[in-house]
Chain A
Amino acid sequence: MRNFFDTLINRQDMIISALLEHIYLSFVAVAIGIAIALPLGIVITRYRRYAEPIIGVTAVFQTIPSLALFGFLVPILGIGSPTALIALIIYALLPILRNTYAGIVGVDGSTIEAGRGMGMTRTQILRQIELPLALPFIMAGIRTATVLTVGIATLATFVGAGGLGDIIYRGLQSYNNALVLAGALPVALLAIGFDQILKWIEKRATPKGLKT
């Protein structure tokens, strides 16, 4: 235990910079994932014929083991942060896409019919009815994607993109359990922390009238 704290103190610069790298990787990947999957999720609710195939493609990506996906990308993109980011974005897509789609499709048809019948335009229906009512689902998707990304970003070390995985890997190579722990513990806390924060946001995002 002493050993662990010594490691934390002696290597704090390294740990902090790895932590920041890790947060950076996860955050950017989720942000870009949202930027792609949210609009795409909305679009496929309008063209439902394409919804299943598109969600299917992202689901296939999800199925590829993460280390293998990194492996596929390295020959094409080389090593470094961009490779890691692209892999992480690919993993973030499915939960956000699927929940956005399911959230909007799940909005009670009668409310949409009422909106249409009262003369709301399609954009007004989307912004004033569908998105607010689907928001809790969308937030849940983002939460899942974030937790997933934080976990998988640990593997970014294998493509030279840094992150807390670096520390764990180094620890493993040098049989230094304290160092392994110094990387693993922050990753775990990061995932739990993000999960809690997003859970709170998700709760706040639930429209007031639906909480009763």
Chain B
Amino acid sequence: MRKFAMAVTTALVMAGAGQVLAQGTVKIGAIYPLSGNAASAGQSSKAAIEMAVDIVNQDLLDLGDLAMAKGAGLTNMKGAKVEVVFADNQGTPAAGQSQALRLITEEKVAAIVGAYQSGITLTASAVAERYGIPFLTPESVATNLTERGFKWFFRATPITSDLAAAYIDFLKERRAAGKKIDSIAIVNENTEYGSSIAESLRKAFGANGFNVTMEIPYSANTSDVQPQVLQLKDKNPDLVIFVTYTSDAILYAKAMRSLNYRPTMMLADNAGFNDPAFVEQVGNLVEGVINRSAFAPGNPGTIPHRINEMFKAKTGRDLDDPSARAMMGMLVMCDAINRAGGTEPAKIQAALKATDLKVNQILTGYRGVKFDEKGQNILAFTLITQMHDGKYVPVWPAGQASAPVKDYVGWR
């Protein structure tokens, strides 16, 4: 009998404690591809977001001025803890949409971050807009996302036009260094992300004296890419640009080797070629490929270096660029909720609009975070990296480069 009474008491106390805890938590939804063709990238982003939550909830002293690092929990809300609710978008816009609906109506999240693929961010954020819930995308780059006149949509990452500008500045320097770049081929997957990048690049390149002579759109969910590689081999353009997701990036790397095709210069726009799974498995087949990244671990003692060490300790591998941007996006959202001092959507929205993070408060290579009236971060910026011995290192701009640019090698 006494045992029973004790059990009941314990249960009651625990239930009470649970309630106190529940009052002190803020739920944020995170929509990512946890299954489907981009699942490895999605799982990596998930780990990064979990780390962002740890940074917020714990009082970490060795992260300098990084946003939300100091103090445990949301300091303006009596130290309330952040709880992230993950939702799997399965790599399809329809699933992204229904998961956004579930997070808002059933999980009652205060805000949402996500959803990796631009095409899925498109549908998921439309649901958030309808319900008046703040939605921040840390990584989707398709230009039109911020051209929809949405009031609840924010984007921390650089967009396609920023990337195009960076590529052009970089390529101009290469040209000045004596490299011939007269013909350019763009090979892009044909959903929102790839099409948007391809279009921006074509326009921006054309306006800057670079000719896109070939465009090869294809479906990322494919079992074979050899014909595309043969089209390239046939015309042999001076520069080949790949805009892919992960599984197709692996197929391209393998097909280029098996068909013995080495472009003179090869550039890959992030996503697939930046997926840690890609770098780990077939990075040695594309030595010298040029890429973009908003994250470079830097030297010991810097915040990015420390963050990378923490991520390595958690997952066993280096922090990749999309995941770094996911982590940053989550911190931006937590910073806004903290300044809002509550979870009313309108307050969070106002706080997001007032966001003004300085360069020392962020872990990615942005020059800060500040949103314009469309919700776009006007201080977003990207570095240019290159695969050197199976690892991406920054090679541009000169001030942030840790190695000189070299020619494309491919496999050895």
Chain A bound to chain B? no
